[in-house]
Structure 1
């Protein structure tokens, strides 16, 4: 197994706001819309300004501001149809999706969009959502066992001409799906911070998403996954994506003032309700170390601990902090914003070029040291 090359450019992704309510649980103004017209324009802005990926969200029920939710796979297809280079990652839940259905959907979309579709396998954290749609709620580690089997199934369907599986959750007998995805196997992403989540990444996933974190906290997670990959004998390394919420302004004072306003205008009952659900999810892992297990009220005003990544300040400050996360092992930064269209463009014009300059400087230093 070889590690991802340190001199490869960092990739940037953004959260697709296909769910209403924005990316913070706050009454602060968020000039972001969940509709298709807004999102088509946003996708075009993103690919014109240095973003390579977009991640669509999967929600089935309302809650915590998400009163309306567009389905992720079909919405992802619409964004791909509006763009030329952008890759879109469709989030899906094992349970509502069967591997055969997803494998077929994604293979078809790959042919329509020149192979630009990927998937994010979400094991599930919102028990109430599963109850509302009549899906069984498995124990924490069982959800990850099912997800791992799901990933093995879709990869087998995409690569084998006569696929067989006798698993605990799925069964296939001499299944041959054609056509196969265009341009190779779609990339398989997953998230989670628990032992089960990291072990799954170390066995089967192409990409591992983690909640927002400090460079030191991120490095500890990456080192853990690398050690597990060696122990499991995995032949390829999982790339690492990290969540972040960007507040980039001309001055640090302005950026910090916006952050303080977000927190001051947090909706306490909604944050506490979200906190209750996700703490239950995080603490349900045997080691009590799942996503959100140690998140504070302030952390949870942004759903995925995005403030912890500290991409809050001037373009120069944010670019330097991004490079620190790259040194810690990040291969991709997944961004959320208050005002997506304006801020994706600003970030692409003001921050990404500075990141590329810093990457070039580091690459030059590495060459000089060899």
Structure 2
């Protein structure tokens, strides 16, 4: 008899891929992606056919995951960054319908979706994708979004307490045969029922960075999605170990760790940096950036002026992700460093996703294969030969 774990390995590339460094595409579903900019070529998330081209390019190149950002409203400013976005469950179903092998992830704010509805939607997408579905769990940090739904912001730890119960309901819906009851502080379910079950145990992700958030990742999730606190190799390795050791020592679980990066590739470091400087310095949306910083409660006042400027620069460049900026060879070296530090995967974003992923597949991917970070992918090889 095939176990759930064995079925999962056979289906979801976030688990089954043999690649040492797995790759995803991040935030394609929202205006700007991760770039807080009004540059003319900034990503517009109001055109499904254009998004579908990028999704297929990632699928055919062997990328392991498409991970959307959860957004219900924008952050103001000239760009209203993130204000236009595709809803992530239906978006993931669309991804599933037009791809062959990539993991189809949804990003779900737990206070905005009842867990029984989430479980049913998840199972549906899992069937459409033939077992490639995954769920990125967000506890809800942007107050105006939560108030849109008639609620209010819960205290930080209360959000995770709620999320504990939310995912328990979903797990029961995915596994319990017949009817089940579930009565807790936040839920009162009588004779709950959900069929069909997912084909696989869906892959769970969370981006918790606080002690409580890290514990949630370690207890419930298959992967942590982290913002790197430092780009120095030893510090990166220490941050990754902290997550993995907690999961192993406290819960006996093998937790994967992913981060995200904004990408600029050129013939020289100077050219690649100039490209980022242009969309950040000349076209960056300072008002939207400040609104995000305030909402997140980031105390830039404790930084030196130089540190604060650097922080805002990287936030406008790509939501403060790890910068993959330089020549193709430099990018490959950066990813090798992350892999050596214990990173399992990196989700990528570009100012212009269509041009960016085409360049990545042509110039960077072959170097990752030569470095032993990725194996050649058959679909891409066949496409190139044709």
Query: TM-score normalised by the shorter chain: which range applies?
Result: 0.7 to 0.9
SS for the counterpart of 1:203 is helix
Mark the CA change 1:10 to 1:163 in structure 2 (over 3 Å): closer, same or farther.
Answer: farther
The separation in 1 between residues aligned to 2:310 and 2:368, in whole angstroms, is 29
Residue 195 of structure 1 corresponds to 211
- Give the superposition deviation at 1:138: 0.2
The separation in 2 between residues aligned to 1:261 and 1:71, in whole angstroms, is 30
Cα deviation code 1:294-320 (max 9, x no counterpart)? 9821232145312xx231101111111
Residue 52 of structure 1 corresponds to 64
Residue 270 of structure 1 corresponds to 288
The separation in 2 between residues aligned to 1:62 and 1:264, in whole angstroms, is 21
Contact 1:149–1:169 (CA under 8 A) maintained in structure 2: yes
Cα deviation code 1:73-100 (max 9, x no counterpart)? 1111112211121211100111111111
Mark the CA change 1:66 to 1:230 in structure 2 (over 3 Å): closer, same or farther.
Answer: closer
Residue 334 of structure 2 corresponds to 321
Are 2:244 and 1:226 equivalent residues in the alignment?
A: yes
What residue ranges of structure 2 are gaps of 5+ in the alignment?
1-14, 301-307, 375-386
What residue ranges of structure 1 are gaps of 5+ in the alignment?
284-292, 362-370
Cα deviation code 1:317-338 (max 9, x no counterpart)? 1111101111112111011101
Contact 2:20–2:373 (CA under 8 A) maintained in structure 1: no
Are 2:57 and 1:42 equivalent residues in the alignment?
A: no
Residue 319 of structure 2 corresponds to 304
Are 2:43 and 1:27 equivalent residues in the alignment?
A: no
Residue 260 of structure 1 corresponds to 277
Residue 331 of structure 1 corresponds to 344
Q: TM-score, normalised by structure 1?
A: 0.85
Contact 1:240–1:331 (CA under 8 A) maintained in structure 2: yes
After TM superposition, list the pairs within 5 Å mapping 1:348-359 onto structure 2: 348-359=361-372
Q: TM-score, normalised by structure 2?
A: 0.82
Root-mean-square deviation (CA, aligned residues, Å) is 2.6
Are 2:29 and 1:18 equivalent residues in the alignment?
A: yes
The separation in 2 between residues aligned to 1:24 and 1:56, in whole angstroms, is 14
Residue 290 of structure 1 corresponds to none
SS for the counterpart of 1:296 is helix
With 241-250 and 346-355 compared, the bigger mean Cα shift is at: 346-355
Contact 2:262–2:324 (CA under 8 A) maintained in structure 1: yes
Residue 132 of structure 1 corresponds to 148
Are 2:85 and 1:69 equivalent residues in the alignment?
A: yes
Are 2:231 and 1:216 equivalent residues in the alignment?
A: no
The separation in 2 between residues aligned to 1:205 and 1:22, in whole angstroms, is 25
The separation in 2 between residues aligned to 1:185 and 1:294, in whole angstroms, is 43
The separation in 1 between residues aligned to 2:54 and 2:120, in whole angstroms, is 27
Contact 1:50–1:352 (CA under 8 A) maintained in structure 2: no
Residue 235 of structure 1 corresponds to 252
